[in-house]
Amino acid sequence: MIDFTRRQFLRAGFAGAAGAAIGLRAFPSVAQAPGDRPSQASAVKVLNPAGRVPVSLIIDDSTCLVNLAHFAIPQFAEVFPDRYLQDWKKLPREIPDSFVRRFAEWSHERGIKGKYSIVPYPACVGWIDRDMPGWSRRELTESLELVRTHIVPDWDIHPEMVTHTWIIDTKTGRPYPERSERFMENWRWTDGRSTDELADYMAYALRPLKNVGLPCEGITTPGGFGNRVLPQLAEATLHACRDVFQTEIPHYFRHLYTDDRSVAPLVELASNLDGHDPRCVVSIIGCTGDWFGNWDGLEIGTVDQFITKDLKGGRLPQVIDRGEPAVLVCHWPGIYCNGDETGFDIFKQVVERLHARYDNLRWMKNSEIARYWAAKELTRIDHEEHKIVLDAPFAAPLFTIQFEARADAVPKLRIAGKEQPLTEAAAPLKLSSGSWVKDKERITVCFDLPRGESVVEW
């Protein structure tokens, strides 16, 4: 398997291999270090939340005001002059807040959720928690407020490391003087780095977000960051997010696959599941290339790459039809497309086709998917006659289980010894928290799983 960075994958995709079975890196079908796993009765199946397939949109290379492509290209070209030949001076230096607002409002009206990066020191232009040269202090303040009010409710906020270009010396706050791929975030700096070194760098990226009141439960890796130190990357994410934000279930975005491998989240490093401080970290996996407007907004994809006009073909039906989370991947400059907004138009059509084809989707933040998968894999499930006992290290809304029972059985739910009301839903897709539905000899129960013990009996 060719060891591609995510950026190389996207460039190759638009060069003609976008539909090919290309991945970032050979990757096992299980987590690198899954950690502890509890016993789970085979007679009980944990379904998707409320029986619906999670869908999410990952937005990379976004930040406040700065069009990262405009400022990053000359820095990339300093190291790779033969690869980055775009006329970057013709690209707009800003992605305006008016566009951020319209995108956020359009998405909110349709229930769309996902992840939105805020690069804290984009291409070394300026710090989001201090000043952004080229813009007034008021403009930066208003941009941050827009993110808090219009992005945060529906989107996870991630740093995409510190600059997305040069590595910063965390002791001085300045880029290292060497101009080579060894000191670029997208390329080779992480090679051979320890967990502590990676965690220090990630924590450095997280703190500016905390300083400006942006909550953060996860991290996005820029380009090939961490590609050759995957176990250390997972552990460093766990430590950095817990250290800076006291995140209960940290998650990260590093991988995307467009071949036949599973794109279900990977729950890693699970430990202390029976103790007062359970831990894990979740790898969220993308399932598409950036077929909107690429990372620079110059190479445009098509709607059909996601889902065809007859609603049967394309990448998304492949994933959704097998019940795995469909996590689309894009870059913010490629949604804006240098003012043409072609990528945004493609996304609108993708959403229209998805909702025309499917009535069983649930848009979720990356953190919500991570939480559900942590609960799904790490909850102990014991099955006795007419009773199921669940012991969960993590709470999860809309936790949904299915089991066999007599056709006339009626389930009851007890949490902390107290019976909780359950109502019968009219159909499987009518399930909501505190409801159940039966299908011949199978019963499906949906409820908000608390940490600790829950009992379903009939």
Domain annotation covers residue 64: yes
- Token pair for residue 225? 């960051």
Task: Please tell me the distance from the alpha carbon of residue 157 to that of residue 211, in angstroms, as a whole number.
Answer: 13
pLDDT digits (tens, 9 = 90+) for 197-231: 999 999 999 999 999 999 999 999 999 999 999 99
The whole-angstrom separation of Cα 250 and Cα 247 is 6
Q: Is the dihedral of CA 197, 188, 329, 324 positive or negative?
A: negative
One domain, residues 150 and 181: yes
Contact indicator for 456, 388 with CB cutoff of 8 Å: yes
C-alpha distances in angstroms, 378 versus 37, 53, 256, 266, 344? 6, 20, 24, 12, 38
Nearest by Cα to 243 from 296, 290, 198: 198
Residue 27, pLDDT score: 40
92 & 180 share domain? yes
Same domain, 449 and 336: no
- Three-class SS of residue 203? helix
CATH number at residue 24: 3.20.20.370
For residue 340, give its domain range: 6-37+53-373
Beta strands in 346-451 (DSSP E): 361-363, 380-384, 387-392, 396-404, 412-415, 418-420, 423-424, 435-439, 442-449
- Of 373, 397, 418, the last residue of a domain is 373
Query: Between 36 and 17, where is the model more confident?
Result: 36
pLDDT, position 23: 31
Domain count, the chain: 2
Number of H helices, E strands in the chain: 10, 21
Q: Are strands 423-424 and 174-175 parallel, antiparallel or unpaired?
A: unpaired
pTM of the model: 0.93
pLDDT tens for residues 30-74? 447 999 999 999 999 999 999 999 999 999 999 999 999 999 999
Q: What is the mean pLDDT of the chain?
A: 93
**Are 78 and 187 contained in the same domain?**
yes
Task: Give dist(CA 235, CA 196) in Å, integer.
Answer: 9
What is the reported pLDDT for 407?
Answer: 84
Mean per-residue pLDDT, 362-369: 98
